[in-house]
Amino acid sequence: MAGRIITVAQQKGGSGKTTIAVNLAVALRGRGHSVALLDTDPQGSMGRWFLERLERLGEDAGLEFSTSSAWGASYESEKLKKHHDFVIIDTPPKIDSDLRPALRVAALVIVPVAASQVDLWATEGVLDLARREKCETLIVLNRTRPNTRLVGEIAGKASELGAEVAAVQIANRVAYAETLGMGLGAADTARSPIARGEIEALADEVLSWLP
């Protein structure tokens, strides 16, 4: 069976797209799945993470990295999914016609939203484009401060936008920044079991959305 494509998209920079993408990849790889990472963001953060991982852990036949232009995302991801269980696409922080190829091929679009009204406003453009492409879309509240009133308000307003909001929230933890810089994911280390638990729970939820 051909692999499934997950696209991570958000108009606003700094939403944590790359963090979500690589941590989800590590969690899925840890469960024995083969994963291909496709970076269409010229900033290249995912590529830098992958190089750090290669230096630290060596090559892994079940984890591949590739790049493409935004317009080439459709062709490249379709090619990668023939040989991997999952393809995870990291996209640039912009919303225009360039994003459509990465949305069009996705079995699921994940939209990270930091807990602020500004980030929520930026989400509307992504959701509108995803609706036009008839994509399944899941909002993930990221960099949250658990049990605060603001998080509850943002979750409620996100639901009002007409998209599903993940039950799992990713908190604002130092562990995510530390592991990212080392080419690791939270699921690679026992140093932060709470962060690892969040990512594993998110992986469970994402898998429940996929056919």
| Percent over 70 (pLDDT), the chain | 97
Q: Using one digit for the tens of pLDDT, what is the confidence trace for 4-29? A: 999 999 988 888 999 999 999 999 99
Q: What is the pLDDT of residue 184?
A: 97
Looking up tokens 């269980």 gives: 85
- pTM as predicted: 0.93
Q: What is the pLDDT of residue 20?
A: 97
Q: Which residues of 68-87 are buried (b: 16+ CB within 10 A; e: fewer)?
A: bebeebbebbeebbeebbbb
Q: What is the pLDDT of residue 167?
A: 92
In this structure, what DSSP letter does residue 6 have?
A: E
- Burial environment of residue 62 by CB neighbours within 10 A (0 to 12, 13 to 18, 19 or more): middle
Angle CA 201–203–204, to nearest 5? 65
CATH number of the domain residue 182 falls in: 3.40.50.300
Number of domains in the chain: 1
Q: What is the pLDDT of residue 1?
A: 61
Q: What is the pLDDT of residue 189?
A: 85
Report the chain's mean pLDDT, rounded to a whole number: 91
Q: Using one digit for the tens of pLDDT, what is the confidence trace for 70-127? A: 899 999 999 999 999 999 999 988 766 688 999 999 999 999 988 777 877 878 888 8
Task: Find the domain containing 19 and state its range.
Answer: 4-209
Structure tokens at 5: 């494509």
Q: Which residues of 3-37 are buried (b: 16+ CB within 10 A; e: fewer)?
A: bbbbbbbbbbeebbbbbbbbbbbbbbbbeebbbbb
Q: What is the pLDDT of residue 97?
A: 64
Q: Using one digit for the tens of pLDDT, what is the confidence trace for 120-152? A: 787 888 888 888 889 899 999 998 886 677 677
In this structure, what DSSP letter does residue 15 have?
A: S
Q: Is the pLDDT of residue 155 over 70?
A: yes
Distance of alpha carbon 139 from the chain centroid: 10
SS3 (DSSP) at 31: coil
In this structure, what DSSP letter does residue 169 have?
A: -
Q: Using CA atoms in the order 76, 130, 89, 23, what is the torsion angle rounded to 10 degrees?
A: -160
Q: What is the pLDDT of residue 85?
A: 98
Structure tokens at 95: 């919303």
Q: Using one digit for the tens of pLDDT, what is the confidence trace for 31-64? A: 999 999 999 999 999 999 999 999 999 999 999 9
Tell me the CA end-to-end span of the chain in Å, nearest whole number: 12
* Count of Cβ atoms closer than 10 Å to residue 150 Cβ: 12
SS3 (DSSP) at 86: strand
